Structure 1
Amino acid sequence: MDKLGLIAGNGRFPFLLLDAARAHGLQVVVAAIKEETDPEIDARAAADPNIHVHWLSLGELSRLIETFQAEGVTRAVMAGQVKHKQIFSSIRPDWRLAKLLLNLRTRSTDMLLGAVAKVLGDEGIELISSTAYLEPLLAQPGVLTSRAPSDEEFKDIAYGRTVAQAIAAYDLGQTVVIAAQACVAVEAMEGTDATIERAGALFQTLGDGGQTTLSRSLTVVKVAKPNQDMRFDVPVIGLATIETMRNAGATCLAIEAGRTLMFDPAAIIAAADAADIAILAK
């Protein structure tokens, strides 16, 4: 039986990829990150002898390589977020990761994960696209919800894409929040949901009771990077994104068709419709 290595971050992404790989008849060797991966992964392994889970710390790059080599893994995939801020936390890198970090020009996501991918490749482990086996979950082009964006929301989308593509080119983040063609929040290390929450909190403080020159609705624009490496950091939205938007007062979401993963598209669209949130994929 062919094997696939799975480097599992947080959230549901690793579980979706795990299920898809097993549906393709693959044995999956999971490198579960102690600081990130949901412990539920152990229950999956207990119920399926073709899932092998190995727990390791985020800083243990050498152990990751040794684990995959011992299991005979030659292809691997990254699935699930690993918070970028963890790089600056108290996690202690092993000698291999420390050397990698020391040689980086910058510690941007692409630079860091690209370097990890090269190290894996040098050791005979090819890192493949994180959308492998999940193509049906890539957003299809068009208006995905019952409600299309309003004229004002379309203006915010157009402006937001310009801003988002500019920051994504610098590998700063992939999401911006816009109102009345003004940028309210830009994503950095905190992640998409925290960016939306920050925008909502900011808007609640404007105008001392709600009076403001800006529209009271927010448009969220999420893009892929100009040269998006589909092996890692692919844009993702899930039910939590819609719930966060609803709580923040956001009414529209724009994503990139074919380059954004939607976890449980039917449930996402149903939740957006219930909250009167428009979703456009283009």
Structure 2
Amino acid sequence: MSIGLIAGYGELPLIAAKNLIKDGHELVIIALYEEVTADLGSLGVTVEKVSVTQVGKIIKLLKNNNSDRVLFAGKVNKSLLFSDLKFDLTAMKLLATLPNRKDDTIMDVICHELNANGIEVMEQSEALYPLYLGKGIYSKKKPSKVQMEDIEFGLEVARELGRLDIGQTVVVKNKAVMALEAIEGTDKAVVRGCSLAGKGAVIVKCAKPSQDKRFDIPTVGVDTLKNIADNNGKVIAVEAGTTFVVDVDSCVRYADENKLIFLAV
């Protein structure tokens, strides 16, 4: 039997695929072509390109490739739900059952449908556990007392945002909320919040209090830090042990070169 990897945006699908192959698993990749950016074709495994709206086709491909487990890796932009993409019959049936269109509601229904077809949804950490970041200050520059107070305030707000299943990221300054992440995603929330804050915004990102480990684990990388620096932000704090950091060495190097404060709390 094989593992199916449903690949979205970013480097996580490539990292997950390499780790699964290294561990000796047979792999088939379902690349969501509206989102996938990593070069997955060089891995020497089957890569099927499918629209994110073709849920029935994805399940059929997994079955045809004898996949009894599946891993989600990489971001899928929720705004695609409100685009003019054509949904297949399975996707339309699932959407019709939703009481709301929160992230967890949507993903729970998709996971249930996969399980009903004999396909277990794996926890993302099964292939990405090394990316979890432990508690500590990683940049040379340390947060001030005022910045630590902003981080603590931001973490409290971010957890409530997550409890409501709205987003994972908040931008704060002087214990005032500049922006909350919603459907637009982290990058646009950072741009908006930093613009309102002027210089010195503090960005906090954390998992939901009841985070489902099968999908949507908070993730940051160099692109996240670059976006913060480009918009005059000063601090990026992530929740230790619950956030994936892609290429932590490059993140630390970028933070130091651009005088950002980077820590896990």
Aligned-residue Cα RMSD (Å) equals 1.2
Q: Which moved more, 1:20-29 or 1:104-113?
A: 20-29
Deviations 1:13-72 (CA, angstroms, capped at 9, x unpaired)? 111111111111112101111211127223x24xx2xx1111111111111111011110
Name the CA distance, whole Å, in 2 between partners of 1:20 and 1:65: 23
Q: Which runs of 5+ in 1 are unaligned?
A: 205-215
Aligned-partner residue type, residue 237 of structure 1: V
Deviations 1:169-194 (CA, angstroms, capped at 9, x unpaired)? 11111000011111111101111111
Residue 263 of structure 2 is matched in structure 1 by 280
Residue 37 of structure 1 is matched in structure 2 by 36
SS at structure 2 position matched to 1:5: strand
Q: Which runs of 5+ in 2 are unaligned?
A: none
Name the CA distance, whole Å, in 2 between partners of 1:249 and 1:34: 33
Residue 260 of structure 1 is matched in structure 2 by 243
Q: Which runs of 4+ in 1 moved over 6 A?
A: none
Name the CA distance, whole Å, in 2 between partners of 1:251 and 1:73: 45
For 1:137-216, what aligned pairs fall within 5 Å after superposition?
137-204=131-198, 216=199
SS at structure 1 position matched to 2:126: coil
Identical columns (%): 31
Aligned-partner residue type, residue 28 of structure 1: L
Name the CA distance, whole Å, in 2 between partners of 1:153 and 1:203: 14
SS at structure 2 position matched to 1:132: helix
Tell me, yes or no, if the aligned pair for 2:180 and 2:189 is still in contact at 8 Å.
yes
Tell me, yes or no, if the aligned pair for 1:139 and 1:261 is still in contact at 8 Å.
yes
Aligned-partner residue type, residue 252 of structure 1: V
Residue 242 of structure 1 is matched in structure 2 by 225
Is 1:89 the counterpart of 2:106? The answer is no
Between Structure 1 and Structure 2, whose CA radius of gyration is higher?
1
Aligned-partner residue type, residue 279 of structure 1: F
Residue 115 of structure 2 is matched in structure 1 by 121
Aligned-partner residue type, residue 265 of structure 1: V
Q: State the 1:98 CA deviation.
A: 0.6
Name the CA distance, whole Å, in 1 between partners of 2:158 and 2:197: 20
SS at structure 2 position matched to 1:185: strand
Residue 231 of structure 1 is matched in structure 2 by 214
Residue 211 of structure 1 is matched in structure 2 by none
Aligned-partner residue type, residue 204 of structure 2: V
SS at structure 2 position matched to 1:7: strand
Aligned-partner residue type, residue 225 of structure 2: I
SS at structure 1 position matched to 2:240: coil
Q: State the 1:132 CA deviation.
A: 1.5
Residue 63 of structure 1 is matched in structure 2 by 57
Q: State the 1:221 CA deviation.
A: 0.4
Aligned-partner residue type, residue 29 of structure 2: V
Name the CA distance, whole Å, in 1 between partners of 2:38 and 2:219: 21
Residue 208 of structure 1 is matched in structure 2 by none
TM-score w.r.t. length of structure 2: 0.97
SS at structure 2 position matched to 1:196: helix
Deviations 1:185-207 (CA, angstroms, capped at 9, x unpaired)? 11011111111111223345xxx
Tell me, yes or no, if the aligned pair for 2:4 and 2:70 is still in contact at 8 Å.
yes
Aligned-partner residue type, residue 268 of structure 1: C
TM-score w.r.t. length of structure 1: 0.91
Name the CA distance, whole Å, in 1 between partners of 2:92 and 2:135: 42
Residue 6 of structure 2 is matched in structure 1 by 7
Q: State the 1:277 CA deviation.
A: 1.3
Deviations 1:134-177 (CA, angstroms, capped at 9, x unpaired)? 21110111112222211111010111111111111111110000
Q: Which moved more, 1:24-33 or 1:259-268?
A: 24-33
Name the CA distance, whole Å, in 1 between partners of 2:59 and 2:130: 30
Aligned length: 265
SS at structure 1 position matched to 2:72: strand
Name the CA distance, whole Å, in 2 between partners of 1:27 and 1:38: 22
Residue 217 of structure 1 is matched in structure 2 by 200
Residue 68 of structure 2 is matched in structure 1 by 74
Tell me, yes or no, if the aligned pair for 1:138 and 1:257 is still in contact at 8 Å.
yes
